[in-house]
Amino acid sequence: MKRQNKYRKFQLQQQNIEALERENSRFKRVYSEYENMSNELWNLENATDEPVPDDFINAMILQTSYLEDEIEDWLIRFNDKKTTDIKQ
């Protein structure tokens, strides 16, 4: 059985992500980079061939977490904007 990719934490907010990607090219680039890095990290951690140095994996985890933080900030602002628009 295939394990779920633990780095794909924004699956429940896919509608908001798609809306943000349409509205903002910078968000689209950041999210695309996050998807690529999280997929690559998942593949490296689950590969059965040559081992990858822990320092390299840790650096990728750190970069992925920075991207996650930025994406979370975008989503919070987007949700706040939606809430404000609804109240007006």
DSSP string over 49-69: SSPPPHHHHHHHHHHHHHHHH
pLDDT tens per residue across span 4-42:
555 567 888 889 999 999 999 999 999 999 999 999 998
Query: Which DSSP category does 81 fall into?
Result: H
Residue 47 contacts residue 41 (beta carbons within 8 Å): no
What does the domain layout of the chain look like in residue ranges?
A: 20-87
50: pLDDT confidence band, cut at 50, 70 and 90? confident
